[in-house]
Structure 1
Amino acid sequence: MHERAGTVALPEDLIDVDALVAAYYDLHPDVEDPEQKVIFGTSGHRGSSFNTAFNEDHIAAVTQAIVEYRAAQGITGPLFIGRDTHGLSKPAEDTALEVLNANGVTVWSDARDSWTPTPAVSHAILAYNRAGHPDQADGIVVTPSHNPPADGGFKYNPPHGGPADSDATGWIANRANELIAGGLADVKRVGRGEGVPSDRYDFREHYVADLVNVIDLDAIQKSGIHIGADPLGGASVEYWELIRDRYGLNMEVVNESVDPRWAFMTLDWDGKIRMDCSSPYAMASLVERRHDFDISTGNDADADRHGVVTPDAGIMNPNHYLAVAIQYLYSRREGWSPEAAIGKTLVSSSMIDRVASAIGRTLWEVPVGFKWFVPGLVDGSVGFGGEESAGASFLRFDGTVWTTDKDGILLALLASEILAVTGKTPSQLYAELTEEFGSPVYERIDAPASKAQKAVLAKLDGSAIAAETLAGDPIIAKLSHAPGNDAAVGGVKVVTERAWFAARPSGTEDVYKIYAESFVGPEHLAEVQAEAKKIVDAALGA
């Protein structure tokens, strides 16, 4: 824990935006260096121009690869493109437009030439593709999400509107690295600064106007509850202003500042500026003002994540809010199919399992990554899909798809709907859940592992776990494939009646992550964590 965690950034914490942008254009990656290659994680390619991980060459090559990929897939409709407020996002969008123009791709960008949240791009893709056009649209979002100000990010959403699957991202990354290694000779591109959109699309208007079909805004307006909405300097700032004005909400946009240095932010747990709306340190300013509002919420830079702050509890643990949201939605959305399942990731709280059982709904447990929820949200067989890292989306009132990417604006508005309709904050409702089901303790820690050990863990089979008990309880499941869709989890999950742990390799550091939860208490959780490390290390031969 950094000694200044939760305090406002100082001048020495801020980046030099001009130097950052200059590095984007001036530095050229060496793809023989693994740190400088194009690598698509669960949310696209990310990195900083300062360490030659996110530069003009990367974006030109990735965009050309996307052009080739969509052509091979027969995608001929418009490509929707949006960007967030990070300093590298506009230069990267400019580069992408230059490549897309040279390849003859029809590109629709924001009508206001402004910032576009990730869910608004997903919403636009889906709206186009269900409108009966003879072709299909896809999209690009230029964002590193909640990452620090020096980072850039670039992600591709195919016609289903959600995050691209690993088959697509793997092909795109490999092709991009080939193009860079070839000196970008096969990258088509108009002159620098000559990239322009083919057309404009009012992402904000279409998204905000459609919210009445997924959130009970009338109930929020009539209740008069006082709402604080903090965009954390991100792409949602102008969206919250329009939502407030369009629907007559008693809302204050807590901070309307946009600064690519994020000088107004409080430092996260490790002393870095990070727009993590689920972190009590990054959200310290809003938490401090929690008594000024009946409920307040935050979003990260591209608004695909949510944070909920209540006067009675401060910032809610994302797992706690997911459980409350699920119980509320499945009891109130009468237009949803009675067969619509509850989607959760393997490392989300088992409180969700208990809620699902109590309300008689199928639990659909999948590996980490929002992409797994996409098919179910598209066809309505999954009503709600949520991740432990404060990302979720759910269906419209009529049971049809809203977005297939995480929607932090939606989940923030839902918190206000819950208060307006029930008269209770989400944290008060969670306290009621703990009275019924118990009070779980959840934590994620890291353990050291070499690259070789991480590779073993990623492919480890549950049968390789020799232990029969965990923290004194019999083990009832050893999972290497998710129960919901039988997809490999890239690690293992071990379950007892009162606790569980999951171990997954980190994609960026020489550690593996241990997620663990106990319904007994903190001491039992510590026992689970300690035994988890021994169990995994034994399986890895450590």
Structure 2
Amino acid sequence: MTTRAGTPAQESDLIDVEALIKAYYDLKPDVSEPEQRVVFGTSGHRGSSLKTAFNEDHIAATTQAIVEYRTSQGITGPLFLGADTHALSAPARTTALEVLVANEVRVLVDEFDDFVPTPALSHAILRYNNAGNDDQADGIVVTPSHNPPADGGFKYNPPHGGPADSDATSWIANRANELIEGGLIEVKMAEPSAVETYDFRGHYVDDLENIIDVAAIKKAGVRIGADPLGGASVHYWQAIAERYELDLTVVNPDVDPTWRFMTLDWDEKIRMDPSSPSAMASVLAHKDEYDVLTGNDADADRHGIVTPDGGLMNPNHYLAVAIDYLYQHRDGWKSDAAIGKTLVSSSIIDKVAESLGRRLWEVPVGFKWFVPGLVDGSVGFGGEESAGASFLRFDGTVWTTDKDGILLALLASEIIAVTGKTPSQLYTELTEKFGDPVYQRVDAAASKAQKAKLGKLDGDAITATELAGDPITAKLTHAPGNDAAVGGLKVVTDKAWFAARPSGTEDVYKIYAESFVGEDHLRQVQEEAKKIVDAAIAD
């Protein structure tokens, strides 16, 4: 069977932008239908207006719920509001603004009416809250991240600047659904008049010299190609090039809500995932033209790193290199600043941490877990296997508490400038020291009941004592770093591990697995993982 993955999008793949926006205003959700309710995942509420999952009523109600939530929490400072390049982001931003203004919330929007990347919004919140003001700011970023063009997304960041925790999002979602069910009678809306502005881009770009050695990049003459993939970072990259006089080319400055310039992802959908070889195929065609080529998703919280010698790096590989480099080149960080990783990230990070003499802080999936450590400097770096990370400034203070794809992309250039080696070459050196792991994520079918059971599983439910011929050394349902429930299971041996988590959107569970032995061993781990999990969640 032939696949169109990695091939240019065709006219039939493109969304009808006019129909999408019309549906945003015309279709009214019925919250008795689960698919039409406000539901916050790990990164906000997402859905398509065409499926009555992201419509004006959703956004009006959710914004009103956020107003009520921030009042209950005593948050009285400004609310920073930004949006990415998805077609539904502009109308949703307008709806949110109408509700915020009617509720007399002090709102700050972009000074140049530009798109606002997620890290720039996080940076703005923290900048305000660390400036000694008597009140506290928070923010909303309108983005479904790397999701397809027909989707919209809406995310709340409280005063710590990172993703809201599940207590906050559950309250906001429940209240929003109540408001929709009540016919939006309690939702205030007004036409915005003069609204305050904020230079998200200027403040973010000017501050980069306090976290990235831009002088070294300039001196070394690193040739950088940056592809925003049609996302919110588009004008930021040009500003970075000009502000720091870098040899940096914005490979594709086009912004088009249909994303007609993208190549199709693995499932033949348009998806702005900078860690996907299929989605990045058009970018990879330029890999020999630059010392490093980078990509970002629509809200620039994810990164993709392309080198002439290695092509598109696996996100786990780059995280390991970034950690190894940073902890040897950041003298201003606390000597006991831990290395933060998610439970499903590569174990080569564990080996790097051990070699650096640093504590490994392993947490469940979700960047929100890194927020407290980044705020107080006890965690120097926090990274996810899905190509999202952030780290501290040179002086060990917080930069962002949300993922920053622009930052991690720039770090690749610093690494080249300082070491004279590409991140791909440095990863090869790590594998020569620690072994060369093989990592893959696959899906396995599961009913809703089975997924629910997996999400609440206890390690004692696993009776197996061996995995792929090796003794099981750990059965984890709580993360070692903070003892938080992982919403699934991780099983570990000395040579391999697997983790299983239920999907939030499909009738499957995800199996993440890694082997330090090889491909055949990984297949064996995956097969046995499925048997172990299926036995534990059998109806």
2:251 alignment partner AA = V
2:278 alignment partner AA = Y
- Name the structure 2 match of 1:481: 478
Alignment of 1:239-278 (within 5 A): 239-278=236-275
1:99 alignment partner AA = V
Q: Is 2:409 the counterpart of 1:425?
A: no
Q: Deviations over 1:240-297 (max 9, x none)?
A: 0000011010011000000000010000010000000000011001111100111110
Structure 2 residue matching 1:228: 3-state secondary structure: strand
Identify the match of residue 306 of structure 1 among 278, 303, 307.
303
- Identity percentage of aligned residues: 76
- Name the structure 2 match of 1:234: 231
Q: Deviations over 1:276-327 (max 9, x none)?
A: 0000011001111100111110000000000000000110000000000000
Structure 2 residue matching 1:4: 3-state secondary structure: coil
2-structure distance, mates of 1:327, 1:74: 41
Identify the match of residue 537 of structure 2 among 531, 535, 540.
540
Tell me how large the CA RMSD over aligned residues is: 0.7
Q: 1:2 and 1:81, CA in 2 relative to 1: closer, same or farther beyond 3 A? A: farther
2-structure distance, mates of 1:428, 1:196: 54
What TM-score comes out, normalization by structure 1 length? Answer: 0.99
2-structure distance, mates of 1:388, 1:399: 23
- Name the structure 2 match of 1:378: 375
Identify the match of residue 293 of structure 1 among 270, 290, 296.
290
2-structure distance, mates of 1:38, 1:447: 27
Residue 2 of structure 1, CA deviation: 6.7
Residue 198 of structure 1, CA deviation: 3.0
Alignment of 1:162-173 (within 5 A): 162-173=162-173
- Name the structure 2 match of 1:516: 513
Q: Deviations over 1:362-403 (max 9, x none)?
A: 000000000000000000000000000000000000000000
1:327 alignment partner AA = D
Structure 1 unmatched runs, 5+: none
1-structure distance, mates of 2:280, 2:242: 25
Residue 76 of structure 1, CA deviation: 0.2
Structure 1 residue matching 2:45: 3-state secondary structure: strand
Identify the match of residue 319 of structure 2 among 315, 319, 322.
322
Q: 1:431 and 1:263, CA in 2 relative to 1: closer, same or farther beyond 3 A? A: same
- Name the structure 1 match of 2:464: 467
Q: Deviations over 1:487-535 (max 9, x none)?
A: 0000000000000000000000000000000000000000000000000
Structure 2 unmatched runs, 5+: none
- Name the structure 2 match of 1:119: 119
Alignment of 1:357-368 (within 5 A): 357-368=354-365
Q: Is 2:437 the counterpart of 1:436?
A: no
Structure 1 residue matching 2:53: 3-state secondary structure: coil
Identify the match of residue 416 of structure 1 among 410, 413, 434.
413
1:356 alignment partner AA = A
Alignment of 1:84-103 (within 5 A): 84-103=84-103
Q: Is 2:154 the counterpart of 1:154?
A: yes
What TM-score comes out, normalization by structure 2 length? Answer: 0.99
2-structure distance, mates of 1:348, 1:36: 33
- Name the structure 1 match of 2:524: 527
Q: 1:263 and 1:502, CA in 2 relative to 1: closer, same or farther beyond 3 A? A: same
- Name the structure 2 match of 1:82: 82
Q: Which moved more, 1:403-412 or 1:279-288?
A: 279-288
Residue 196 of structure 1, CA deviation: 4.7
- Name the structure 2 match of 1:447: 444
Q: 1:399 and 1:67, CA in 2 relative to 1: closer, same or farther beyond 3 A? A: same
2-structure distance, mates of 1:401, 1:496: 35
Alignment of 1:35-50 (within 5 A): 35-50=35-50
CA contact (8 A) 1:446 1:513 kept: yes
Q: Which runs of 4+ in 1 moved over 3 A?
A: none
Structure 1 residue matching 2:488: 3-state secondary structure: strand
1:89 alignment partner AA = S
CA contact (8 A) 1:107 1:197 kept: no
Q: 1:520 and 1:66, CA in 2 relative to 1: closer, same or farther beyond 3 A? A: same
- Name the structure 2 match of 1:403: 400
Structure 2 residue matching 1:446: 3-state secondary structure: strand
- Name the structure 2 match of 1:493: 490
Residue 39 of structure 1, CA deviation: 0.3
2-structure distance, mates of 1:337, 1:41: 33
Structure 2 residue matching 1:541: 3-state secondary structure: coil
Structure 1 residue matching 2:525: 3-state secondary structure: helix
- Name the structure 2 match of 1:348: 345
- Name the structure 2 match of 1:187: 187
2:235 alignment partner AA = E
2-structure distance, mates of 1:514, 1:418: 32
2:400 alignment partner AA = T
1:32 alignment partner AA = S
- Name the structure 2 match of 1:3: 3
- Name the structure 2 match of 1:27: 27
Structure 2 residue matching 1:105: 3-state secondary structure: coil
The number of residue pairs the alignment matches comes to 539
- Name the structure 2 match of 1:200: 197
1:253 alignment partner AA = V
